[in-house]
């Protein structure tokens, strides 16, 4: 995929968990595995998702599989029908764009609050983590470092409510590491992070929030292109 402004700030924060909530339940692990099967084209729109087969494949009971299917139906990946089973629906472009819009609003508010409430220690930590990101070239290492940056940013917002709301955002669009799926997004993420940190340090919460919201909109565009290329998007 070509490099473009749309590749800035792409989905390093779309990990399926709000920062700080790394531990997954069995149902979340199953849901992640099913998303990956759809993403890789091993399950396609219209295919039936058989609970027994998924449970055997992953070595789990049927309970977390049923819970995962409920979650994926809610996210739009599957369509669960009473007495018939669950079928892959894929995703549509509006769902993908809305996903990133919601993430942008939540993380954007966190950045605004960090600019308004962050202590000198908070800002020094955020700056240090952002500078460390700038020196990383390996996609896997960058993804983990980016998670540390975001976790610290949320902490700098000093908002239990933001953390609680973010904990509800357990769905993800692109399974795994976005920087592996679209390597050229890594440099754009560095530039966007620098702009956000500069706005926070200037005490400009509105600008910090706007930078993140706009960046996640670009992320949605990049995700749509990737999913379209893989044939995942439905009507």
Distance, first Cα to last Cα, the chain: 22
Does 79 lie in the same domain as 180? Answer: no
Does 139 lie in the same domain as 35? Answer: no
Does 127 lie in the same domain as 72? Answer: no
Does 159 lie in the same domain as 96? Answer: yes
Does 84 lie in the same domain as 110? Answer: no
Asked if 149 and 129 count as a contact pair (C-beta separation under 8 A), the reply is: yes
Who contacts 203 (Cβ-Cβ below 8 Å, separation ≥6)?
115, 116
218 assigned to some structural domain: yes
Does 184 lie in the same domain as 70? Answer: no
Does 147 lie in the same domain as 183? Answer: yes
8 assigned to some structural domain: no
pTM for the full predicted model: 0.80
Task: Read off φ and ψ for residue 154, nearest 5 degrees.
Answer: -60, -40
| Final residue belonging to a domain, choices 59, 88, 117 | 88
Who contacts 4 (Cβ-Cβ below 8 Å, separation ≥6)?
none
Q: In the prediction, which pLDDT does 109 show?
A: 97
Q: Which helix (H) or strand (E) holds 227?
A: helix 205-229
Does 197 lie in the same domain as 84? Answer: no
Does 114 lie in the same domain as 220? Answer: yes
Q: In the prediction, which pLDDT does 13 show?
A: 45
Measure the CA angle with vertex 147, ends 70 and 66; round to 5°: 10
Beta-bridge partners for 87: 48, 79
Indicate which CATH number applies to the domain containing 178: 1.20.120.530
Does 211 lie in the same domain as 181? Answer: yes
205 assigned to some structural domain: yes
Q: Domains in the chain: how many in total?
A: 2
Does 41 lie in the same domain as 81? Answer: yes
Indicate which CATH number applies to the domain containing 62: 1.10.10.10
Tokens of 230: 């893989």
180 assigned to some structural domain: yes
83 assigned to some structural domain: yes
| Final residue belonging to a domain, choices 41, 59, 88 | 88
Asked if 73 and 86 count as a contact pair (C-beta separation under 8 A), the reply is: yes
10-residue mean pLDDT profile of the chain (235 residues): values are 38 43 75 89 89 92 94 89 88 88 94 98 97 94 90 93 79 80 86 96 97 89 88 75
What's the domain range around 224?
92-229
Helices (H), 40-92: 51-58, 62-75
Q: In the prediction, which pLDDT does 235 show?
A: 62
186 assigned to some structural domain: yes
């Amino acid at each position: 995929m070509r490099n473009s402004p749309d590749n800035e700030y792409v989905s390093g924060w779309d990990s399926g968990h709000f920062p700080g909530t790394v531990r997954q339940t069995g149902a979340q692990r199953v849901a992640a595995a099913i998303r990956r099967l759809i993403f890789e084209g091993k399950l396609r729109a219209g295919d039936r998702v058989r609970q027994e087969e998924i449970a055997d494949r992953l070595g789990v009971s049927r309970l977390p599989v049923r819970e995962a299917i409920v979650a994926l139906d809610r996210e739009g990946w599957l369509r669960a029908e009473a007495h018939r089973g669950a079928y892959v629906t894929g995703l549509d472009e509006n769902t993908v764009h809305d996903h990133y819009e919601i993430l942008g609003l939540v993380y954007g508010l966190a950045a605004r609050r960090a600019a308004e409430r962050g202590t000198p220690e908070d800002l020094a930590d955020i700056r240090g983590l952002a500078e460390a990101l700038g020196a990383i070239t390996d996609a896997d290492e960058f993804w983990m470092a980016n998670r540390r940056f975001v976790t610290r940013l949320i902490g700098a917002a000093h908002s239990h409510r933001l953390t609680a709301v973010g904990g509800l955002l357990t769905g993800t669009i692109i399974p795994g590491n976005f920087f592996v799926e679209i390597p050229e997004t890594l440099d754009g993420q560095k530039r966007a992070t620098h702009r956000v940190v500069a706005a926070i340090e200037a005490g400009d919460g509105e600008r910090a929030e706007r930078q993140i919201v706009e960046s996640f909109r670009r992320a949605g565009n990049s995700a749509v292109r990737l999913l379209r290329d893989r044939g995942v998007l439905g009507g």
